[in-house]
Amino acid sequence: MSNLDEISDRAWAALAPYLAGKAGDVGRTGVDNRLFLNAVFWVERHGCAWRAIPARFGKHDTLRKRSRRWAQKGIWQRLFEAVQEPDLDWVMLDSTVVRAHAQAAGSSEKAALATKPSAAAAAG
């Protein structure tokens, strides 16, 4: 298995506390949550159907059913929220308040100096 097909130790340490089936959780302990996540990420990375997954990850139907159960229990949502960046909506800038230098728009100083005032401006 290549390194691209595996979750890094750093990513695993960040995700593991949010997974179902940990030792100490009520119910069945997950056989291998890390291998399962590697399988899910493999399917997403390659954009294929579950049935095309390599045998090293396990039975495709079992993996598909487990992924669906995690979705129903909200585990995927919990993982997503755990790895999200902080909410930075308040930092958004509106382009109406940001001014750029004239040259940022492709204007050249010579072209700006060469423009002539309109006849209406000269008359009024």
pLDDT tens profile 57-82:
999 999 999 999 989 989 899 888 88
Question: H-helix or E-strand containing 46?
Answer: helix 33-46
Q: What is the pLDDT at residue 4?
A: 66
Q: Which residue would you say has higher pLDDT here, 62 or 32? A: 62
Residues 6+ apart with CB under 8 A from 49: 43
Q: What is the pLDDT at residue 120?
A: 62
Across the range 105-118, mean pLDDT stands at: 60
pLDDT band at 32; cut points 50, 70, 90: confident
Q: What is the pLDDT at residue 113?
A: 59
